[in-house]
């Protein structure tokens, strides 16, 4: 099981914490990078002696130059695997060329339903009876890449945003570490849009 993992964050970092608490994943987390300073996720990283970097958007004139800055920081740290865990920036296509097949994202809906930044709210507004969580490999399109893991949860009649998000988060905290473990263990087989997880966990 190999790899140097960077976790990209923008906020509180509960998914980061789930990764830090996974005994198979945590030793591989070499960097936590945020687009914003002073977020809770950076404190979580520092508490585990994980290196942190902040690359803010404002100094960069466009998405491509911001993407290059993030990529360069990761490569300086020797990163080969990237996990987007609540990272609220869209990166340009060139980023993924640097980490081919090694970028994972967790999304709080059953893709391709409800892509974008407000998936829990959108699911409630649509009146769906089920939603869920998707962990997928990332490509140049937003919330689009091949699906690694996906699981549904019921939307209850009395759910509001807070109650539904709580259950979504709990599912994220289980699925994301599982997907990262499978990637690090070389157990992902990608055939077009189809992803299989092979073998048993060591």
d(CA 27, CA 3): 10
- Give pLDDT, residue 144: 81
What is the per-residue pLDDT across 136-186, written as a single tens digit (0 to 9) for each? 999 888 778 999 999 999 999 999 999 999 999 999 999 999 999 999 999
The pLDDT tens digits of the residues spanning 86-110 come to 999 999 988 988 999 999 999 999 9
Query: The whole model's pTM is what?
Result: 0.94
Instruction: Assess whether 38 carries a catalytic annotation.
Output: no
The distance of Cα 198 from the centroid of its chain, to the nearest Å, equals: 21
Place of tokens 């800055």: 69
pLDDT digits (tens, 9 = 90+) for 39-89: 999 999 999 999 999 999 999 999 999 999 999 999 999 999 999 999 999
CA distance 75 to 30: 11
Which of the four pLDDT bands, split at 50, 70 and 90, describes residue 200? confident
Average pLDDT, the chain: 94
- Cα separation, 126 vs 80, in Å, equals 38
Residue 192 has pLDDT above 60, yes or no: yes
Residue 2 confidence class, pLDDT cut points 50, 70, 90: low
Residue-level pLDDT at 140: 80
Positive or negative CA dihedral for 139, 143, 147, 149? positive
Q: Please check whether residue 15 is in contact with residue 90, taking contact to mean a CB–CB distance below 8 angstroms.
A: no
7's enclosing H/E stretch is strand 5-9
183 phi and psi, to 5 degrees? Answer: -65, -45
Report pLDDT for 1. Answer: 57
Bridge partners for 188 per DSSP: 197
Residue 29 predicted with pLDDT over 90:
yes
What would the mean pLDDT of 20-26 be, rounded to a whole number? 97
Query: Going from the N-terminus, what domains does the chain have, and what CATH number goes with each?
Result: 5-197 (3.40.50.170)
Average pLDDT estimate for 185-193: 94
Beta bridge partners, 197, equal 188
pLDDT band at residue 201, thresholds of 50, 70 and 90? confident
Question: Which residue among 28, 60, 77, 107 is the active-site one?
Answer: 107
Helix (H, G, I), strand (E, B) or coil at 147: strand
143 burial level (CB within 10 Å; 0-12, 13-18, 19+): buried
């Amino acid at each position: 099981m190999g790899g140097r993992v960077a976790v990209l964050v923008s906020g509180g970092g509960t998914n980061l914490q789930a990764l830090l608490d996974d005994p198979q994943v945590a030793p591989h987390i070499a960097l936590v990078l945020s687009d914003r300073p002073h977020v809770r996720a950076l404190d979580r990283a520092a508490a585990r002696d994980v290196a942190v970097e902040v690359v803010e958007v404002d100094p960069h004139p466009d998405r491509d130059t911001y993407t290059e800055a993030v990529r360069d920081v990761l490569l300086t740290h020797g990163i080969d695997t990237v996990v987007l865990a609540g990272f609220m920036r869209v990166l340009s296509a060139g980023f993924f060329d640097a980490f081919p097949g090694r970028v994972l994202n967790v999304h709080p809906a059953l893709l391709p339903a409800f892509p974008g930044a407000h998936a829990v709210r959108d699911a409630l507004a649509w009146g769906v009876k089920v939603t869920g969580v998707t962990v997928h490999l990332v490509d140049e399109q937003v919330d689009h890449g091949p699906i690694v893991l996906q699981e549904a949860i019921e939307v209850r009649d009395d759910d509001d945003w807070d109650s539904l998000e709580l259950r979504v988060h709990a599912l994220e905290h289980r699925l994301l570490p599982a997907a990262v473990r499978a990637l690090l263990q070389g157990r992902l087989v990608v055939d077009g849009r189809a992803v299989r997880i092979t073998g048993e966990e060591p």
